[in-house]
Amino acid sequence: MERLIFVICLIFVFTSCSKDNVEMADEDDIDAVDKDDNEENGEESSATYSFIGNDFQVNSYKEDNQNYPKVAIAPDGKAIVVWESAGQDGDGHAVVAQRYNSDGSKWGNEFVVNTETKLAQSQPTVAVADDGSHIILWRSKDQDGSGFGVYAQRYDSSGNEVSDEFRINEETNSNQDLAYAAYHSNGNLMIIWESSDQDGKAGEIYARVYDDEFNDISNGEFRVNTVIDGWQNTARIADTPSGFIVVWESLNIDSERIAIVFKRFSSEGTALMTMEEQVNTREICDQKNPDIATLADGKFVIVWEHLEDPDKCSSAKTLASDIAARIYNSDGTALTGEIILSQNTSGNQNLGIANDNQGGVAVIWQGDASSNDSTDEIYGRRLLATGTLIGDVFIVNSNSDSYQVFPAIAAAPDGNLFAVWGSWSGDGNGTSIRARRLKVGE
């Protein structure tokens, strides 16, 4: 019987049996004993993560709600955390940032990022270049004259503003929002966003590419998705040795509802594929909330939430969901099938992923799967570039009062990880931003 279960697990590429997943991981840990000696050199390690202290509050301004944090880490280990804060700029939401040194101490004070404060500035994201310069993006209400527009502020490696805030989207009709960016190693910057009514269809992914002196080298904005039927949204971007990869949700591209697709681009923004490629092999019902991380050799890992909901999909018999991942070679060919990081997750699985720079990726997500108080926690798991899962699912937050939501994570070159999330516990006044640092090994 055990042999049969083992075979079934192999067929589903580690999917079915969490018990056997742990056993496979344990076998791999035998190798880890030798590999751990190389850890300090930033080489591959098969160890699990350990925490560097408990979680802590990021925001200094505590009035009302702070939520939707994102984080990026510079090559020198400095972390930049951004979030939206209700009322902090005096009119609706503001975009706020706090930088940290590599040892986890604060680098300067928190500050309001947006110059235009009228109405809401919200949904911020951040990207950092190899030289430490960085860009913060957000959506601003009515600033471009119609719904939301995408705005940005650039900073040098010392944290000083470079020029004024500016608009990214050229088409201003209706909403442009959900912006993300990545820097290539040559300094080029690709920014993506969702435009809700640009091609007469419901939601497309648009992009612009700038060089290291911020000249527009894509001749303005261009559409990322080839398929425009249905809607395309919830896009993420990562840089690779050959350029950039964008991953997003696409409606009606697979046999049922939502699917995950990706498309590769050169560092100048030229599409390297004629059309997007589907990631999920299980097409039943919804595949959503994708994120992507690139490994040092150009391999990349895409993670997403797989959701089978009988209320939404005729093929779904019972409510079921899991966190799935797939690993690709640098040329975009699949290295693995779907790998299941956690089964029977429930609630809203917002995801984050980061290359831990020691041969694996850290995946974290929101859920209430194993919580005993039916509130959401932040969960995590380590996945090696080989497709091997390390250890078991763990809870990232140390403070488990109330709801922990919208996680994001980034890693320094030495493998130290910085996880952030919104929290209904903590600052005693609405939601707050909390963070916790992790590392590979003990």
- Is 117 one of the binding residues for Ca ion (CB under 5 A)? yes
Q: Which two tokens stand for residue 102?
A: 């590599």
- Is 149 one of the binding residues for Ca ion (CB under 5 A)? yes
- Is 226 one of the binding residues for Ca ion (CB under 5 A)? no
Measured CA to CA in angstroms, residue 30 lies from 21, 95, 209, 334 at distances of 15, 46, 45, 27
**Eight-state DSSP code of residue 291:** E
Q: Name the minimum Å distance from CB 301 to Ca ion.
A: 20
Region of 111-119, 239-247, 339-347, 388-396 interacting with Ca ion (CB under 5 A): 111-119
Beta carbon nearer to Ca ion, 138 or 418: 138
- Is 368 one of the binding residues for Ca ion (CB under 5 A)? no
What are phi and psi for residue 161, nearest 5 degrees? -60, 140
Q: Which two tokens stand for residue 163?
A: 């020029």
Distance CA 318, CA 420 (A): 32
Q: Of the candidates 20, 23, 43, 91, which one interacts with Ca ion according to CB under 5 A?
A: 91
Q: Which two tokens stand for residue 70?
A: 């994102």
Beta carbon nearer to Ca ion, 151 or 183: 151
Spatial CB neighbours of 102, under 8 Å, sequence gap ≥ 6: 76, 77, 78, 79, 412, 416
Region of 7-15, 91-99, 314-322, 354-362 interacting with Ca ion (CB under 5 A): 91-99
Q: Which two tokens stand for residue 417?
A: 């990880």
The site string for Ca ion over 157-176 (x = CB under 5 A, - otherwise) reads ---------------x---x
Q: Of the candidates 16, 18, 115, 146, which one interacts with Ca ion according to CB under 5 A?
A: 146
The site string for Ca ion over 246-285 (x = CB under 5 A, - otherwise) reads --------x-xx-x-----------------------x--
Beta carbon nearer to Ca ion, 176 or 232: 176
Q: Name the minimum Å distance from CB 237 to Ca ion.
A: 20
DSSP 310-363: TTT-TT--S-EEEEEEEEE-TTS-BSSS-EEEEES--S---EEEEE-SSSEEEE
Q: Name the minimum Å distance from CB 169 to Ca ion.
A: 7
Q: Of the candidates 144, 204, 249, 368, which one interacts with Ca ion according to CB under 5 A?
A: 144
Beta carbon nearer to Ca ion, 55 or 194: 194
In this structure, how many other beta carbons lie within 10 angstroms of the beta carbon of residue 39? 20
Measured CA to CA in angstroms, residue 177 lies from 46, 47, 122 at distances of 38, 38, 9
**CB 74 within 8 Å of CB 414:** no
- Is 147 one of the binding residues for Ca ion (CB under 5 A)? yes
Q: State the number of binding residues for Ca ion (CB under 5 A).
A: 17
- Is 194 one of the binding residues for Ca ion (CB under 5 A)? no
Distance CA 58, CA 421 (A): 10
Q: Name the minimum Å distance from CB 406 to Ca ion.
A: 20
Residues that bind Ca ion (CB under 5 A): 89, 91-92, 94, 117, 121, 144, 146-147, 149, 172, 176, 254, 256-257, 259, 283
